[in-house]
Structure 1
Amino acid sequence: MLKYKVFVINLARSPERMARISQQLADANVPFERIEGVDGNLLSDAEIEHVSPAALVRKHYYRALNKGEVGCSLSHKKAWQQIVDDQLDFAFILEDDIDLESNFADVVELMAGLPHANWDFIKLYPLRKGSPKNIRQSVAYRQHQFISYHKFPLSAVAQVISHQGATRLLQHMPYVVQPVDGHLKSWWSLGIYPFGLIPYCVSVDLQGQSDINPTGGLEKLPQRRLHKLYLNWQRAFMRLVSTPKLDNAFSLFSKSLK
């Protein structure tokens, strides 16, 4: 029997969001635990520099990070650490601004019924669902499909992470050098092989208020465009090199479900 929990990341200053997602989870009859998010706006410049050194951000990203982005990444790291500390086989990690779809409880039951936790990361929502052409491989499992992607989609609002996945993420992400979903998009640098599960079981109001970018200021931050092009080329090259290993991991995972 796999040991798991459902975690909801929530800032202390967002009680209305907590109330909303709590009601949704109660309606789905899914128990959960709240993880208090790290409010980046409350961190001093010295604290930010300690966890997100400016020199490393400049090397690995094309613009400065705001405090909200750093706090969001630290919140996810806090959830990953909780998986390890609680000695869980896996955990759902949800941000508090999502909407649960009607199949969410089914997905919890599906994951709890897997024969093992020998996998790393299952994405439950992409920022842009895009074309089915981004699905690289798939395997049917109990009215759902586990999938792999050609390009791993952005967004970290909902995912399932195993103990081994959390351990690898913590090991390979000692500092915050880009937004958390940017880190995950370069999954090979984190030592994980991420999959997805469709149909997706959560959704997000993309027009809603963002804790990370409440005034739209991120779009106005200066960008080093040549460095951005270089980083995009580097990511594309590493994806090309790493994808055969992802294919092999997905093949082994698919076979293990039968």
Structure 2
Amino acid sequence: MKIGAYVINLDRSIERWRCLTAQAAQFDMQFLRVSGVNGAAIPAEKRIEIDEPAFLRQNGRLMLDGEYGCYRSHLKALSTFLESDNDAAIIIEDDVEIPPKLIERAEAILDAVPDAELVKLLNHRSRWFRLRKISQLGDQVGRCLHGPQGSAACYLVTRKGAEKLLSSIRVMNYPLDIALERGWQNGVNVFTVKDNIAHLSPTTSKMTEIGTRADYRKHKFRGPRRTITHLMRAIEYIRRIRYAL
């Protein structure tokens, strides 16, 4: 199986790209750069393929500029992958530290779980993990009953998985990290590793391109306006559990 590595990198983030290419050279890897979309540079009236009422209901807050840019960047990366002759891709954001043997571990994961179409290789949490298989290189692969797990900074996707994603999540109504995990809705066979294979860089990840906690709090709805959001999240939680089982 031929696996390519695609790095999403904003044009202004020159130092991040330099750090990643240095890591790639160290581990004898090749990265294809995907120019990221700067959401802040696109006026709201010129943004495309957004279901804004659904986003407001389901997330209980306004959309951040960085979230829009992140979403479009990942769709661009998936399209770029499908234009290649690779069988699978690792999609990487530029604030990730690349571990040695990343490609080999991805190959071992797909050998262990051949029906997987997307495998998250980095998460903020992996609670109530249910094991499916252990790869030959020791990575535990399965699903989590609890979520969302957070982060779309590094994941493995097959051609079939990318095709399904581009069809099912093209219109944005969730942040990208949540949209990826919703296998019960997007039709993708989604798994995760129990322990992160890649990790966020301790330096560059502090300079977020999406939004700080203060940004999220500022855009969050208050009081009764969030009632429907709580109800929809409860339904999603039940769907997640059923999918993981």
Q: TM-score, with normalisation over the residues of structure 2?
A: 0.87
Which of 53, 58, 61 pairs up with 1:60? 58
- Tell me, in whole angstroms, the C-alpha distance in 2 between the residues paired with 1:190 and 1:13: 32
Q: Residues 230 and 25 from structure 1, CA distance in 2 versus in 1: closer, same or farther, beyond 3 angstroms? A: same
Q: Give deviations 1:30-62, integer Å, cap 9, x for gaps.
A: 1110001111011122222x2224223224331
Partner residue, 2:177: 181
Counterparts of residues 61-210 of structure 1 (less than 5 Å): 61-104=59-102, 106-108=104-106, 110=108, 114=111, 118-129=115-126, 131=127, 134-144=128-138, 145-152=140-147, 153-197=149-193, 199-205=195-201, 208-210=206-208
- Tell me, in whole angstroms, the C-alpha distance in 2 between the residues paired with 1:7 and 1:117: 21
Asked if 1 retains the 8 angstrom alpha-carbon contact of 2:129 and 2:194, the reply is no
Moved more, 226-235 or 9-18: 226-235
1:31 aligns with 2:30: yes
- Tell me, in whole angstroms, the C-alpha distance in 1 between the residues paired with 2:198 and 2:152: 12
Moved more, 218-227 or 168-177: 218-227
Asked if 2 retains the 8 angstrom alpha-carbon contact of 1:136 and 1:147, the reply is yes
CA RMSD of aligned residues (A): 2.4
Q: Residues 46 and 165 from structure 1, CA distance in 2 versus in 1: closer, same or farther, beyond 3 angstroms? A: same
* Equivalent position SS for 1:181: helix
* Equivalent position SS for 1:127: coil
CA positional deviation for 1:115: 8.4
Partner residue, 2:238: 237
One-letter amino acid of the structure 2 residue matched with residue 124 of structure 1:
L
Asked if 1 retains the 8 angstrom alpha-carbon contact of 2:115 and 2:189, the reply is no
- Tell me, in whole angstroms, the C-alpha distance in 1 between the residues paired with 2:201 and 2:24: 17
Q: Residues 116 and 101 from structure 1, CA distance in 2 versus in 1: closer, same or farther, beyond 3 angstroms? A: closer
Q: Give deviations 1:152-207, integer Å, cap 9, x for gaps.
A: 51110000000011111111112111210121232211111211235432111476
Asked if 1 retains the 8 angstrom alpha-carbon contact of 2:8 and 2:35, the reply is yes
Q: Residues 239 and 172 from structure 1, CA distance in 2 versus in 1: closer, same or farther, beyond 3 angstroms? A: same
* Equivalent position SS for 2:125: coil
One-letter amino acid of the structure 2 residue matched with residue 136 of structure 1:
R
Asked if 2 retains the 8 angstrom alpha-carbon contact of 1:117 and 1:162, the reply is no
Give the share of equivalent positions with the same residue, in percent.
23
Asked if 1 retains the 8 angstrom alpha-carbon contact of 2:122 and 2:155, the reply is yes
Structure 1 unaligned spans of 5+: 245-258
CA positional deviation for 1:73: 0.7
One-letter amino acid of the structure 2 residue matched with residue 211 of structure 1:
E
CA positional deviation for 1:243: 3.6
Q: TM-score, with normalisation over the residues of structure 1?
A: 0.83
Structure 2 unaligned spans of 5+: none
CA positional deviation for 1:106: 3.9
Q: Residues 150 and 240 from structure 1, CA distance in 2 versus in 1: closer, same or farther, beyond 3 angstroms? A: closer
* Equivalent position SS for 2:111: coil
One-letter amino acid of the structure 1 residue matched with residue 74 of structure 2:
H
Work out the number of aligned pairs and report it.
Answer: 238
